[in-house]
A and B are shown apart, each in its own frame.
Chain A
Amino acid sequence: MLDAMLSGLAQVLQWQTLGIMAVGMMIGFIVGILPGLGGAVTIALLLPFTFTMDPVQGLVLLLSMWIVTGTAGDITSVLFGIPGEATSAAAVLDGYPMTKKGMGGRALGNVLTSSGLGIIFGAVVLGLFITVIRPVVMLLGPPEFFMLVLLGLAFIVTLSGKNQAKGLAMVGFGLLLSYVGSDPSAGVPRFDFGQMYLWGGIELIPVVVGLFGGAEVLQLMLTRSSIASGSMKQTKLTGTMQGVSDAFRHWPALLRSSGVGVVVGMLPGLGGTVAQWISYGQARQTSKNPEMFGKGAVDGLVAAGATTTAKDAGSLIPTIAFGIPGGAATAVLLGGFLVLGVNPGQEMLTTKLDVTFSMVWTVILAGLLGVILALALVRPLAALTKISGTVLTPVLFMFLVIGAYTANNNWGDLFVMLGASALGVICLRYDWPRVPFLLALVLGPLLEQYLTLSNTLFADTWFTRPGVLIIAALVVVVVFFSIRSLLREKSRSEETGEPFRGTRTRAIRTIGKKK
């Protein structure tokens, strides 16, 4: 184990790898600050560039970019009151009021340090989890993995909140599309419309690029604006070190928020957007000055910053250990693992353990360096927000086209990307969830692969394996509690006349209520 940890560190500390990390971080800063492309799409767009890299270098590029994205998003949240990333929205509530009071430097020092400490906490948990989970994963076979994927799908659906029916429909649609292509037993193409392109199934990359990136670029084309219109000249950026010390002074809030981030990040389908609000809510509940929340609360900003990055490390845990992505970005990252020849599950915890630990080190290094660079380069980075949407559009549009086309070098990829873009726009416009669809598309083939292997290896006796029964019980429990919570919520809303919101939003509603 120690050998693998040291080997992972040594591989990351190669000059060439560090150079790749610098490139990844630079892209992460740009993506994080600018509107439009988020972490998931950028991972998809960068995937083709990793084809010629060795696994560690490829993973370093993808991870360093992704980790820095969250940190950079906090800069626009604090300075302009506009979240650079959806997961940075909570930082706006207290960061922007501090900036308006002339404490922008202190707010930035606080949120960036919290972000750095959050990622270290998350990476340590990730490293520990890898150590602890290894013997457990070694005991699991295809039947247990089949049930784990099923459990992941149950989580995705139940966490869709008020949109549970819509979430379920999108999971069904994603699963159905994931079964387009040759079947694993007879090799007969299914649902292929007579198109040879579809024999290999629907590629993940064009779908991600269209579903998230296409919709965002179209949004940019329609608005044509830059994200920040105010001048930064009047913004005072002094007091950064006081902000740094604020983050350390509020260590209980930092630890709790990091813990929430890691745990919520691990649950498939919930994601960082929700994690930040749960974390912010608990910070307010436990704060000595809850009345300051929303007006520039230092501990509120600590909670927001720490969660942003800790949840990323958390979502890597199920991705690495079980091949079950926690969210959209890890779903694409899972595709990246396979492109780079690294198989999640037993392989990443045994023969490729050094590669796995190189990921942990990358998360730590990129997280820390990202914070230091962000503090040092905050003014030029903030200036990026002045670039108008019309100037960005041609560049982003070309990247979408290249990103989609490189999946198979086929026009079919472009049509898939356009179809996914249309779906993404419909989802955004009419409030249908995109992430359940994407995760189902990723998990569908895994489900079929594990089912086929289970049937081949164990015939129909695999149903009675203890691991299978335990996980099946967990699936039942998850579904049961979800339905119960939904029914209770609905009956309460009928009694009180308060609008029914669903299970997911209940956690968010803890904001503003002190125990």
Chain B
Amino acid sequence: MSEQSPGIQPSRAKSDFVIAVVLLLIFMGALVWSLTYPPAVAMLLPRIAIGLGVAATLWVSIGKGIRLFRANGATERAERRSLAEIVVATEIVGEEAEADQAADNDAEYIFANTSRRLWLISLGFIAGFFVVMWLFGLFIAAAVFSLAYLVFVGRKRWVYAIIYTALLTGALWALMRLVTYIPSPAGILFVGG
């Protein structure tokens, strides 16, 4: 982490800046929208929430923007000096550097360092599940997801994957149809699925 810190901190400031600006746009959009409602509609608290959000996102975006600006300037100057000074220069951005190292948790590390291929595979499975569920319903989607995931991602044997899938789908069906009577999402092509 310490080796990466100088590079990570400006990118953290950048990501904070981007998220704050996106939230600011959402708040501003909500503010404009709130003005279109007639006076009878209760808008006091939503507008207070918007005001709170606008103030906070401005606070974050301006603060991070200034730091990014300073960091760029400092890095440019430092580039003319030495590699060691680059580290010092960029670290002035990272007022949270040490705290971030302490708070550096597994989730942040995993999401930051997972390869694009793994991300695409995982998101692809999730997207595929929802498409199959939309077409054929929950139970078929659960079976397809489970079988495919265990075989292709989990590298389990077909027999293992089939038994696991049958048990999972069966338990899911029994839980929803026989025990709790909770409705399950039906597919557009196969209502019973």
Contacts and interface: CB of A to CB of B under 8 A. Distances in A.
Interface of A: 48-49, 51-52, 162, 165-166, 168-169, 171-173, 175-176, 178-179, 183-186, 188, 190-191, 215-216, 218-219, 221-224, 388, 390-391, 393-395, 397-398, 401-402, 405-406, 409, 411, 414, 418, 425-426, 428-432, 440, 444, 447-448, 451-452, 493, 498-502, 505
B1 interface: no
Given A186-B40, A222-B122, A429-B108, A176 B50 contact: yes
A176 B49 CA distance: 6
Contact of A168 (B56, B138, B185): B56
Nearest to B30: A176
B191 interface: no
Contact of B96 (A162, A165, A218): A162
Contacts of B34: 190
8 contacts: A172-B56, A172-B57, A186-B41, A188-B41, A391-B154, A394-B165, A428-B108, A430-B19
Given A175-B49, A430-B19, A432-B19, A448 B42 contact: yes
B30 A499 contact: no
A48 B107 CA distance: 28
B98 interface: yes
A179 B33 CA distance: 13
A222 B111 contact: yes
Contacts of B138: 401-402
Contacts of A393: 149
Given A179-B45, A222-B118, A391 B59 contact: no
A51 B179 CA distance: 12
A51 B46 CA distance: 31
Contact of A394 (B27, B168, B184): B168
Given A173-B26, A175-B52, A176-B53, A414 B130 contact: yes
Contact of B180 (A49, A178, A426): A49
Contacts of B154: 224, 388, 390-391
Interface string B160-174: 000011001000100
Nearest to B152: A390
Nearest to B46: A179
B27 A176 contact: yes
B125 A221 contact: yes
A186 B112 contact: no
Given A185-B42, A188-B37, A394-B168, A179 B49 contact: yes
A499 B52 contact: no
Given A165-B59, A172-B56, A173-B23, A452 B107 contact: no
A224 B102 CA distance: 25
B164 A431 contact: no
A418 B133 CA distance: 14
B84 interface: no
Contacts of A215: 107
B154 to A, nearest CB: 3
Contacts of A498: 98
Contacts of B95: 493, 499-500
B150 A391 contact: yes
Nearest to A180: B46
A216 B105 CA distance: 13
A165 B142 contact: no
Nearest to B97: A499
A172 B150 CA distance: 41
